[in-house]
């Protein structure tokens, strides 16, 4: 099965952080070169690189780049941290780089995140019923994680184990991360799939055509409340109504030990022009799924079930 190589997604060269510009996929594969930490922050802000683990990796490379250029690292950290407020991986990576802002530390963070994804996929396989018809939302594959994927990595592992028959791909409005990015990754992996409108998920569940919903997360509170791409909460409500399990797959770097519940998770509001350029609009980038609607949370440490306040690790991942 073809591999979306980690260095193809994001890498650090001598004078730049280079990202595969996700805004241009699937139409064309274009690399964006960021020669300062401020340019890395802008690439994160405009979603040229996106996905909680991936923006943490890009930020780590941005700090290594800044250190090599002699930039003020406090300013670089503040600029990068402000680029997207909801995903906790971003601040986690910046903290991991604070005492050792080297290329070697950043490369280790990247490699470690990819390895976490592989372990999560291996744990998650047992949650997939035979010949599963899976529905997923947004993009939580290699593009979003720097390699392999969280939710999509679990789908990949289960497919390789012969447990996935088909994947329904929510288009994920307004920026179509599912229709553009997840479908592109599944096509490369030769996993059977079809894109559906976000509003079609209910009818597919009602017809009994969905066996499992699998998503990633951008931040997980101590009680298991999860923040993920807008629309995830609606899917969780639908899944509960139709008795379809909902599984969240995310690394421990996504856990926020400072947030006891979702009430403490900041929700990013993006430019209304992403929704409509003519009329007034609201554009929250994320919503929160209460832990009561989550069947299981999978991290690289295993499968966690309610009560999540007791079963989730009480500390986030640490960078050696």
The two three-digit tokens of residue 253, written as one number: 């770097």
Confidence of residue 293 (pLDDT cuts 50, 70, 90): very high
CA distance 30 to 49: 12
- Average the pLDDT over 94-105 and give the result: 96
Q: Which residue has the tokens 């990754």?
A: 185
Q: Are 253 and 56 in contact (CB under 8 A)?
A: yes
Q: Is pLDDT above 80 for 320?
A: no
pTM over 0.75: yes
Position 303 scores a pLDDT of 98
pLDDT digits (tens, 9 = 90+) for 1-37: 566 789 999 999 999 999 999 999 999 999 999 999 9
Length of the chain: 320
Position 74 scores a pLDDT of 96
CA distance 64 to 105: 8
pLDDT digits (tens, 9 = 90+) for 220-270: 999 999 999 999 999 999 999 999 999 999 999 999 989 999 999 999 999
CA distance 69 to 103: 12
Position 153 scores a pLDDT of 97
Position 87 scores a pLDDT of 81
Q: Are 268 and 230 in contact (CB under 8 A)?
A: no
Q: Which residue has the tokens 């991991």?
A: 96
21 among known catalytic residues: no
Domains of the chain: 6-116 (1.20.120.420), 119-311 (3.40.50.10470)
User: Of 218, 225, 256, 287, which one is the catalytic site residue?
Assistant: 218
pLDDT > 90: percent of the chain: 94
CA distance 153 to 67: 33
Average pLDDT value for the chain: 95
The two three-digit tokens of residue 229, written as one number: 């791409």
Confidence of residue 88 (pLDDT cuts 50, 70, 90): confident
Helix (H, G, I), strand (E, B) or coil at 201: helix
pLDDT digits (tens, 9 = 90+) for 169-206: 999 999 999 999 999 999 999 999 999 999 999 999 99
Q: Which of 107, 161, 114 is nearest to 141 (CA)?
A: 114
Confidence of residue 314 (pLDDT cuts 50, 70, 90): confident
Confidence of residue 315 (pLDDT cuts 50, 70, 90): low
Position 31 scores a pLDDT of 97
pLDDT > 70: percent of the chain: 97
Q: Which of 229, 217, 287 is nearest to 256 (CA)?
A: 217
> Running DSSP on this structure, what letter comes out for residue 284?
B
């Amino acid at each position: 099965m073809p591999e979306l190589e980690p260095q193809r997604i994001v890498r650090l060269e001598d004078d730049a952080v280079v990202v595969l510009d996700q805004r241009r996929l699937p139409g064309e594969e274009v690399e964006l070169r960021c020669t300062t930490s401020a340019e890395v922050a802008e690439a994160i802000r405009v979603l040229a690189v996106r996905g909680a683990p991936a923006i943490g990796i890009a930020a780590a490379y941005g700090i290594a780049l800044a250190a090599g250029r002699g930039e003020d690292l406090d300013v670089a950290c503040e600029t990068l941290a402000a680029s997207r407020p909801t995903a906790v991986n971003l601040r986690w990576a910046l903290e991991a780089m604070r005492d050792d802002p080297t290329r070697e530390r950043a490369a280790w963070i990247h490699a470690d995140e990819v390895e976490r994804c592989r372990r999560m996929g291996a744990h998650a396989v047992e949650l997939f019923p035979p010949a599963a018809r899976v529905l997923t939302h947004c993009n939580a594959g290699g593009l979003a994680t720097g390699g392999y994927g969280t939710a999509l990595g679990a789908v990949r592992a289960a497919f390789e184990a012969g447990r996935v028959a088909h994947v329904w791909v929510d288009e994920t409005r307004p920026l179509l991360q599912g229709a553009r990015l997840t479908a592109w990754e599944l096509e490369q992996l030769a996993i059977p799939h079809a894109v559906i409108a976000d509003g079609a998920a209910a009818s597919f569940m009602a017809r009994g055509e969905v066996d499992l919903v699998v998503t990633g997360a951008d931040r997980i509170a101590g009680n298991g409340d999860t923040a993920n791409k807008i629309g995830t909460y609606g899917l969780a409500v639908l899944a509960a109504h139709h008795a379809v399990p909902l599984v969240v797959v995310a690394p421990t770097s996504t856990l926020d030990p400072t947030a006891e519940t979702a009430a403490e998770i900041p929700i990013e509001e993006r430019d209304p022009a992403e929704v409509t350029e003519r009329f007034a609009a609201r554009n929250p980038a994320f919503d929160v799924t209460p832990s009561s609607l989550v069947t299981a949370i999978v991290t690289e440490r295993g499968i966690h079930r309610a009560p999540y306040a007791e079963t989730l690790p009480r500390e986030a991942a640490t960078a050696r």
